[in-house]
């Protein structure tokens, strides 16, 4: 734990080899200031009249918007108008917003991830990805957001929980900063996060079991079978239903998160947004020695086809993510399982 402030880190030249390092630093600083404003709103909860209420309209992904989603979006959009950002792509807007075509960066953002948890006082967050501008931002503003995640210059998320934290990577590892009211800045609490590889936790919404494809059901069956099953180990299940909260736990304690595609209407291609959710999460996880896939393929290698593209997402401890991929592509994984679990799943007769 180094204890340096976010401001000191951004001024330290830790990523001077990356293009546009000064612009990236300025953008992260602006996002941090905006996050403090959003934090003030989230801490008031139901005292913010109407902010937890649904607006009766849907965002670009078909989710019901809440007033606070739109307010948070406005706060971040206003904040980045003062820094070197040319384009703003948000979950709350249909298309990319052109700010200044002469600037070098594009910001993809989910301004308030997990806002459905506001009423229940569960941690929510803001996820962001910083990309270099490509092409002509005036004639084709969406093009800059259709780059694979490997081109990200920085990524991170703020989590509005018991602490206000910033999980950040500029491509030189993953760091966690906690906001300190005493020092008036984010202070580095973990300067080199490494996801433990031997954790026995997994996160998935088991209520959707009947909708999953066979490889996901087999993997979960084997986890639930515990020490008496083919894994010969007992597992605990965790599911917060907040992407940032589940990711934060995995960064600290290890384990694996699964949000697979399934057979429900609208879920056949997954549900997590590739550009401003899966890509930044994958960037952070890989920089912390973990892995992230769409169940089989590396997330950061996938070429986006639209700003709001959905995708399945599996991330966490590398060995577990790789095992889940093998359940999908390697028939020998089935033969490794005992006859009991190969023929009958935990929830199947």
DSSP per-residue letters across 157-223: EEEESSSEEEEEESSS-EEEEEEETTTTEEEEEESS----SS--EEE--GGGGGGB-HHHHHHHHHH
Q: Is 168 annotated as a binding residue?
A: no
Residues 152 and 296 in one domain: no
196 domain residue, yes or no: no
**Under DSSP, is residue 127 helix (H, G, I), strand (E, B) or coil?**
strand
Concerning whether 61 is annotated as a catalytic residue, the answer is: no
**What are the tens digits of pLDDT across the range 330-349?**
866 654 554 444 444 444 32
Q: What CATH number should be reported for the domain holding residue 65?
A: 3.30.540.10
Residues 47 and 89 in one domain: yes
Catalytic residue among 41, 67, 69, 307: 69
195 domain residue, yes or no: no
Concerning whether 294 is annotated as a catalytic residue, the answer is: no
Residues 63 and 175 in one domain: yes
Catalytic residue among 110, 142, 222, 246: 110
Judged against a pLDDT cut of 80, whether residue 70 lies above it is answered with yes
Number of structural domains found in the chain: 2
1 domain residue, yes or no: no
Q: Is 48 annotated as a binding residue?
A: no
Last residue of a domain, one of 136, 164, 190: 190
Q: Is 286 annotated as a binding residue?
A: no
Concerning whether 113 is annotated as a catalytic residue, the answer is: yes
Residues 177 and 283 in one domain: no
pTM of the model: 0.92
Residues 305 and 239 in one domain: yes
What one-character DSSP code corresponds to residue 20?
T
Catalytic residue among 91, 142, 221, 246: 91
Q: What CATH number should be reported for the domain holding residue 268?
A: 3.40.190.80
Residues 244 and 314 in one domain: yes
243 domain residue, yes or no: yes
Q: Is 91 annotated as a binding residue?
A: yes
Concerning whether 301 is annotated as a catalytic residue, the answer is: no
122 domain residue, yes or no: yes
Catalytic residue among 188, 277, 286, 294: 277
User: What percent of the chain is predicted at pLDDT more than 90?
Assistant: 79
Catalytic residue among 7, 37, 61, 63: 63
Last residue of a domain, one of 135, 161, 190: 190
Q: Is 294 annotated as a binding residue?
A: no
108 domain residue, yes or no: yes
Concerning whether 91 is annotated as a catalytic residue, the answer is: yes
348 domain residue, yes or no: no
Catalytic residue among 67, 73, 107, 113: 113
Note the pLDDT of residue 123. Answer: 94
The mean pLDDT value of the chain amounts to 90
349 domain residue, yes or no: no
Q: Is 277 annotated as a binding residue?
A: yes
Q: How many helices (H) and strands (E) does the chain have?
A: 9, 17
Residues 45 and 154 in one domain: yes
Residues 257 and 179 in one domain: no
Residues 226 and 333 in one domain: yes
Note the pLDDT of residue 233. Answer: 93
Residues 335 and 224 in one domain: yes
Last residue of a domain, one of 166, 190, 214: 190
**Under DSSP, is residue 88 helix (H, G, I), strand (E, B) or coil?**
strand
* CA separation for the pair 177, 191 (Å, rounded): 8
Crossing angle of helices 243-253 and 279-287, rounded to 10°: 10
Q: Is 113 annotated as a binding residue?
A: yes
Concerning whether 69 is annotated as a catalytic residue, the answer is: yes
**What are the tens digits of pLDDT across the range 189-223?**
999 999 999 889 999 999 999 999 999 999 999 99
Catalytic residue among 67, 92, 188, 262: 92
Judged against a pLDDT cut of 60, whether residue 63 lies above it is answered with no
Concerning whether 92 is annotated as a catalytic residue, the answer is: yes
Beta bridge partners of 314: 258, 293
User: What percent of the chain is predicted at pLDDT more than 70?
Assistant: 88
Residues 147 and 248 in one domain: no
Residues of the domain holding 37 = 6-190
What one-character DSSP code corresponds to residue 6?
H
- Token pair listed for 103: 């600037």
Q: Is 205 annotated as a binding residue?
A: yes
Residues 178 and 220 in one domain: no
332 vs 79: which has the higher pLDDT: 79
Closest CA to 297 of 150, 120, 79: 150
Concerning whether 234 is annotated as a catalytic residue, the answer is: no
């Amino acid at each position: 734990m180094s204890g340096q402030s976010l401001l000191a880190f951004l001024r330290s030249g830790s990523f001077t080899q990356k293009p546009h390092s000064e612009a990236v630093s300025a953008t992260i600083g602006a996002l941090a200031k905006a996050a403090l404003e959003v934090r003030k709103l989230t801490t008031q909860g139901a005292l913010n009249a109407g902010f937890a209420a649904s607006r009766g309209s849907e965002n670009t992904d078909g989710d019901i918007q809440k007033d606070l989603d739109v307010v948070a979006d406005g706060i971040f959009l206003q904040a980045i108008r003062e820094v070197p950002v040319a384009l703003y792509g948000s979950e709350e807007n249909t298309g990319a917003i052109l700010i200044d075509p002469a600037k070098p960066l594009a910001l993809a953002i989910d301004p308030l991830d997990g806002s459905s948890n506001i009423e229940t006082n569960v941690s929510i967050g803001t996820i962001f990805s910083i990309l270099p501008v490509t092409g002509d931002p005036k004639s084709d503003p969406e093009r800059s957001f259709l780059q694979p995640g490997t081109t990200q210059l920085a990524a991170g998320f703020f989590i509005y929980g018991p602490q206000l934290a910033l999980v950040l990577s500029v491509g030189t590892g993953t760091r966690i900063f906690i906001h300190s009211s005493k020092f008036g800045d984010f202070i580095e609490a973990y300067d080199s996060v490494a996801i433990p590889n031997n954790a026995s936790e997994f996160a998935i919404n088991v209520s959707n079991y009947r909708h999953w494809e066979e490889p996901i059901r087999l993997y979960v069956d084997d986890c639930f079978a515990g020490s008496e099953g083919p894994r010969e180990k007992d597992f605990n299940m965790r599911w917060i239903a907040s992407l940032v909260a589940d990711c934060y736990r995995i960064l600290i304690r290890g384990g694996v998160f699964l949000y697979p595609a399934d057979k429900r209407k609208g879920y056949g291609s997954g549900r997590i947004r590739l550009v401003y959710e899966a890509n930044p999460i994958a960037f952070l996880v890989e920089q912390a020695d973990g892995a992230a896939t769409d169940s089989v393929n590396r997330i950061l290698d996938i070429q986006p086809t639209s700003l709001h593209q959905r995708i399945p997402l599996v991330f966490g401890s590398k060995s577990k993510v790789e095992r889940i991929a093998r359940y999908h592509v390697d028939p020998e994984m089935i033969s490794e399982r005992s006859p009991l679990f190969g023929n009958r799943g935990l929830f199947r007769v």
